A and B are shown apart, each in its own frame.
Chain A
């Protein structure tokens, strides 16, 4: 069962040689692919399509890293992880990147032995209810039975919210997404709670009649979702961090998978640095100087990734717009 993975992870930590000197970049280059921990199936973030190819904005981060390292975005292997498995999988070295709609919190950043590289989706927690319950606001949920997945910030925010509003609830805590959704859809729970992005994705992709479910207006927490890497390997941390930033910066510079080839010979100095025509930013990271070109050409910029994966499910860009358009997406300068 579930503890098996934890035991394996614990064993891996037990047995790992004390002085494991090999860096993640060396290990990744040697094995020829990036091992990426993703969600077992959350539409828009990471989910295999009908051909079995993984799709989603979390998947695109992994592909961007592979494009930067190997010049080939397809050199990724995926490890689907539940909420409970994800941190041990990263800690024990089973995956090189954890890109699994994971909320960046101080506890996780400081005590779990991992580092968050940035944010690829600004989210918040919400509630979905059966429309026939005639609930209009989360404040009317006193006494409700709530389906939730364990080991998430969701579980903690849920308890906080009801405590601070002097309301009671009964949690039904099930780890597997399929099972927890079954419990909600069958009426065992009045409410299903997770990040609003998850609610939208679930309603669009799993509900037999999406119209029978209402997402309540309250957003009860801030959930900056982003990829994370193991603590203690700064070079790898830099590569993953700047692969994500490159996607955001590309959108701001107006570079996309469609026009990047034409822009290679531009005279705009920012773009020249980005595409590696001037300077040696790639080399400073231990990568090919065309690292960012490969990312944009093969994966696309952040906006393209958003439009391809999330827009079809009915997601609004909202606070995930670029800072220049009033959103929060902001990449430090690539220079």
Chain B
């Protein structure tokens, strides 16, 4: 007993020493090379523009801190929307794969294999090229519905009393969805949905056949058996791996840098380069993703406890 306590203390001591060694060594090296350090740069003027903002307003005269906040808000926007849509699409495809209809099941199977086995970055480039190279210039924008314009500048919708119209180079007014955002959302949703579909399928298949037979013998139809007997039991198995997929989607959203969507990583990269403070920038990125990931885990674990079997030891 006492001995194991000693080992624990030694391990903590070693870890603490490693942290201290790296921190002091870094500080010393940065000082020796006259590389600026510290987080003072956060309050300096950023001086660069950001293509699209969520929630925060931003101009080049704002600080690096605000620029990073805009990047974070953009990451949240893509992650939140992506998680909702990927769940819906994934569940639909998972169910389709188990459908009695042969063609539907095969199509769903083909979707999963195709999307799951092509690298996400390649898919993002595909969607981005598809959108920016095939859609017409703003002057020849497609106008499928009154007030809705689709061009290589993105998709513009009207708001009540605020219609988008072409002025000069681009549309003004209404709400716009940029090609970068659209490509990233499409890529993340279709890719993650393939994994979610498999998780849903596995969850459903894990419910013993006897349960379904029992449901049928109680007089429930296929739909009712699914809804009242199978899905509630499947959910318990689905939630933990689903959490991983939500975390993956959020972290994969950092691939945005490749196609020019200004997410946190993109803004932090620019900040690092303009200020030269790579270590601080990486620390910011790591801290933010850690916070987001832990928050998602916390919420999902809470939900998991609610749907888990009562009284079963875990």
Binding site for B on A (CB under 8 A): 1-3, 6-7, 9-10, 13-16, 18, 83-84, 87-88, 91, 107-108, 110-113, 133, 141-145, 150-152, 155-156, 158-160, 162-163, 169-176, 179-180, 182-183, 186-188, 190, 230-232
Contact = CB atoms under 8 A, between A and B. Distances in A.
A88 B278 contact: yes
A328 B285 CA distance: 43
A113 B29 CA distance: 11
A113 B35 contact: yes
A176 B260 CA distance: 10
Given A3-B285, A141-B169, A160-B60, 12 more contacts: A1-B265, A9-B278, A13-B279, A14-B26, A113-B276, A143-B168, A143-B169, A159-B48, A163-B61, A170-B51, A179-B125, A230-B33
Nearest to B151: A187
B167 interface: yes
Interface of B: 22, 25-26, 28-30, 32-36, 47-52, 59-61, 125, 129, 132-133, 137, 152-153, 167-170, 172, 179-180, 254-255, 257-260, 262, 265-266, 269-270, 272-276, 278-279, 281-282, 285
Contact of B262 (A107, A142, A173, A182): A173
A173 B152 contact: no
B180 A172 contact: yes
Contact of A143 (B30, B36, B167, B269): B167
B259 A179 contact: yes
A13 B282 contact: no
A101 to B, nearest CB: 15
B29 A16 contact: yes
Nearest to A16: B29
A222 B28 CA distance: 35
- A-B complex: 10 closest residue pairs judged by Cβ atoms: A151-B273, A113-B35, A159-B60, A112-B276, A113-B33, A174-B260, A111-B36, A188-B132, A143-B168, A186-B133
B273 A87 contact: yes
A83 B269 CA distance: 11
A14 B29 CA distance: 8
Contact of B257 (A7, A175, A190): A175
A113 B129 CA distance: 39
Contacts of A143: 167-170, 172
A155 B274 CA distance: 10
A151 B257 CA distance: 12
B170 A84 contact: no
Contact of B25 (A2, A7, A15): A15
Contacts of A175: 257-258, 269
A1 B257 contact: yes
B273 A173 contact: no
Contacts of A162: 49
A145 B169 contact: yes
Contacts of B172: 143
Name the residue among B48, B50, B51 with the largest chain A CB count within 10 angstroms.
B48
A61 B51 CA distance: 37
B273 A171 contact: no
Contacts of B285: 3
Contact of B153 (A145, A173, A176, A180): A145
A113 B152 CA distance: 42
